[in-house]
A and B are shown apart, each in its own frame.
Chain A
């Protein structure tokens, strides 16, 4: 599989805080990469930089949209927005920040389709209903406002709204972060099934090692803005070499 996304030598500072310090990482098609680390390690900054939502101070992110790896910085504002809308998806930790709570569930999904060019009302509504079913929301709730949905349902709605446009690359920021454990399992199972079936490439940020183990082919461990360890998920977690990774793994309570 060829490389889809690659970061080379990313640097980013917020004031005097170093968020990214010479970070390089790559992602292949259909690959699931987890970024783990504690709060403040730079993992969310890395995700946002890979997704073109934050511009690095140094280094660049390259993406292969079919004609070889090209730097995001060469795309321009408009080109980047088009890419983010048409070929990429982003699942945020808080679905309330990503969805519009004052329009219907079906509208939230349909809006994304319309933004990428769909015009036929019947088709859009049909796709929205199909995606609600896909994320295990009763399609009869298509005209309900999401503000009456539970946290888990909102997260599933966000996933449907993200995947309806058929992205090839999806970024996820702690997608199960604020949810109850029982609800988490359902979301993880859903993500796992969809990602495999649709052949998506995914970069997922999580502080939960169990989530990384369940979903990711590979993982990188971040500390103080640097990648301190990287490799196959089970190898890094079962045979951690870096002191910080050993601490992360040792800090998990066995189930």
Chain B
């Protein structure tokens, strides 16, 4: 479903006197249909950068990220912007660590929007959104409110609901359970496993080892740059 190889990514920080950080040095990773893959390694080893590169939120310097989209393998590193937008609408789901709340838009509308963008009728999308929010323990009285004032855990559950309302072929998860209590964490584990059973490829960063063990079949280990290790 997803095959990435030869990923190199450095950040050239012009404002910090042109410091260059080499974060990815030839990283490779893949995930098959129904497979759960954990990116592991110490903080600063590049796993978060790699995950963002798979969504083209970060643009790699070289390498390819092949994604199965509409029956063909498409390299998202070089795909035109409109193809990337289409891939993000249909194929690649992404749960960031934090919800980016939009002023005046209710939790339910945020959740339903993802489904509406994929062509689901608005009424149907809102019904599915209501169910998904309830499943993630968001009280009905909050559904109509903009999440800007919600707690961190509530915002993250809205963020999760927004992604899990759709059946994504490939799901990228950046610490999806970081701010959740045990009960909600178990709901997320079930949601991820349902997606896998449906055939979704899962790639994620899971600091919580219980979650990682419950949803992944394989780990890809990232290592610190030997230079940085020497300095540490």
Contact = CB atoms under 8 A, between A and B. Distances in A.
A and B: partners? yes
Interface of A: 1, 28, 31, 185-186, 188-189, 192, 213-214, 217-218, 231-232, 234-235, 238-239, 241-243, 246-247, 250
The A interface is mostly helix, strand or loop, or mixed, namely helix
Contacts of A185: 103-104
Nearest to B100: A213
Given A185-B103, A189-B103, A250-B15, A238 B82 contact: no
B57 interface: yes
Contact of A243 (B15, B84, B100, B102): B15
Contacts of A246: 13-15
Contacts of B82: 1, 28, 31
A192 B117 CA distance: 13
A14 to B, nearest CB: 29
Give the top 5 A-B pairs by smallest Cβ distance, nearest first: A185-B103, A243-B14, A239-B58, A189-B104, A218-B81
5 contacts: A31-B82, A232-B84, A239-B57, A239-B58, A242-B14
Interface in B1-50: 11-15
Given A188-B103, A214-B102, A247-B15, A238 B58 contact: yes
B105 A189 contact: yes
Contact of A234 (B14, B15, B57, B104): B57
Contacts of A250: 15
Nearest to A232: B81
B99 interface: no
Nearest to B88: A232
Contacts of B12: 241
B85 interface: yes
B80 to A, nearest CB: 10
Given A185-B103, A234-B57, A250-B15, 14 more contacts: A28-B82, A185-B104, A189-B103, A189-B104, A217-B81, A217-B85, A231-B59, A232-B84, A235-B57, A235-B58, A241-B59, A243-B14, A243-B15, A246-B15
B135 interface: no
A166 B39 CA distance: 49
Contacts of B11: 239
Nearest to B117: A196
Contacts of B57: 234-235, 238-239
Contact of A189 (B15, B58, B59, B102): B102
Contacts of A242: 14
A144 B144 CA distance: 33
Nearest to A190: B104
Contacts of B14: 242-243, 246-247
B52 interface: yes
Contacts of A241: 12, 59
